[in-house]
Chain A
């Protein structure tokens, strides 16, 4: 029997090693797998390369991982925000390396890894600082930049529902990078609000097929909080 469910977040991240590249889902805090990140902090792995859209908000989640000085490099599109003080301080002190990537290139470079694409040409960034030193090519009269996939050892993502095969259904705009990172990482770890029995998820509505997911941990949404699950939103 296939059973990808793990009893707790700590078990699910127990083999994330020093120097690993870890993709972390979420756009701001929507879709950020905070409990998996907390478990990763407790696990103690260092010198990590993190791939995320942002570089932490406030003092929790990705920001807490940065604050714990576990991150050597971050690959992201939008580090500077009103509440990115943890990253800002590390960056100004020269204690973290930043690879800034246009958001669509970030998404596509992650997607490319999962889809087995060696590299791709895109118009985004042509003629800008973020394409400096990169190979370019004229195709049908337009300029393109060659971009390479981003590989990762692990992905930490968050979804609404999962099952023991690893099928996932997300919630609203918290989906963002989850499906892409699941396919890209060698080991994708999903925290879900609820693990449901096999067959309960409508196959027509599964967003991430289980083949892309190695581990599933149930982390119920905090009760009473604004993140409380909607009343039996039809996941069928």
Chain B
């Protein structure tokens, strides 16, 4: 999934990768593209993890893991960092998700469970602020329920904010006319994908020439 997302990130893009699964996208960025990673705790030009022993507790990513700063990197405070996010300066962000709705609503910060301790971080800022919002998540829950839904049942992070969904089965664009499947894993039939999904989708690959 992470490798598939990485293929869609353009040369020259400013990108924020969320905590968890999205962080893995960094390992798959094509070496022939110059892509600048932003981490909301205050760094543009984030590099990979340092060698063992070279960790610096003052140089971490949003997941609080040690990272490095590439040549050309810059540090900044939180108001500047979130201006980059909220002000529409980031080309793309990649977020994890519990659910995405047909309308592109995202739920990824809170299960809503009574005893859960909520934490939101920068998810709501990224959801409304990045030019393109990509969500990377399993297609179904462990119980076999579709994570792509008509309406989110978990508390939402943002409304109509998701542009594209990457699952372990398919890549799906959220469009004004509904969900459009633009890629599927090899060997999967569209009818089977549709059966595993909670909502209707269109098969862009079968649509023939663009209208």
Q: Footprint of B on A, CB under 8 Å?
A: 27-31, 57, 77-81, 84, 87-88, 91-92, 100-108, 110-111, 122-130, 143, 170-180, 207, 226-227
Contacts and interface: CB of A to CB of B under 8 A. Distances in A.
Interface stretch (B92-100, B117-125, B175-183, B197-205): B117-125
A27 B121 contact: no
A235 B78 CA distance: 21
Q: What is the interface of chain B mostly: helix, strand, loop, or mixed?
A: loop
Contacts of B85: 104
A102 B77 contact: no
Contact of B159 (A127, A172, A178): A127
A144 to B, nearest CB: 10
A175 B78 CA distance: 8
A102 B125 contact: yes
B117 A78 contact: no
Given A30-B41, A103-B125, A178 B82 contact: no
Interface of B: 39-43, 55-60, 64, 69, 75-79, 81-82, 85-86, 110, 115, 117-125, 128-129, 155-159
Contacts of B76: 175
A103 B117 CA distance: 16
A124 B128 contact: yes
A24 B123 CA distance: 22
B75 A130 contact: no
Given A103-B82, A127-B156, A172 B58 contact: yes
Contacts of A130: 120, 124
Nearest to B121: A78
B67 to A, nearest CB: 8
A73 to B, nearest CB: 15
Given A108-B82, A226-B57, 6 more contacts: A27-B41, A30-B64, A173-B39, A173-B42, A173-B43, A179-B77
Contact of A102 (B39, B122, B159): B122
A92 B118 CA distance: 12
A128 B78 contact: no
Contacts of A106: 78
Contact of A107 (B78, B157, B159): B78
Given A30-B58, A173-B58, A176-B41, A104 B158 contact: no
B157 A128 contact: yes
A133 B119 CA distance: 19
Contacts of B75: 170, 172-173, 175
A101 B82 CA distance: 13
Contacts of A28: 60, 64
Contact of B121 (A103, A123, A125, A171): A103
17 contacts: A30-B57, A79-B117, A84-B117, A91-B117, A92-B117, A102-B120, A103-B121, A105-B124, A105-B125, A107-B77, A108-B86, A125-B124, A172-B43, A175-B75, A176-B41, A179-B79, A226-B56
A214 B64 CA distance: 30
A137 B157 CA distance: 19
Nearest to A123: B128
A45 B25 CA distance: 46
Nearest to B66: A226
Contact of A78 (B81, B120, B155): B120
A176 B124 CA distance: 18
Given A30-B58, A92-B115, A227-B58, A100 B120 contact: yes
A122 B86 contact: yes
B86 A100 contact: no
B64 A124 contact: no
Given A79-B117, A104-B85, A207-B77, A172 B157 contact: no
Given A27-B64, A79-B119, A124 B125 contact: yes
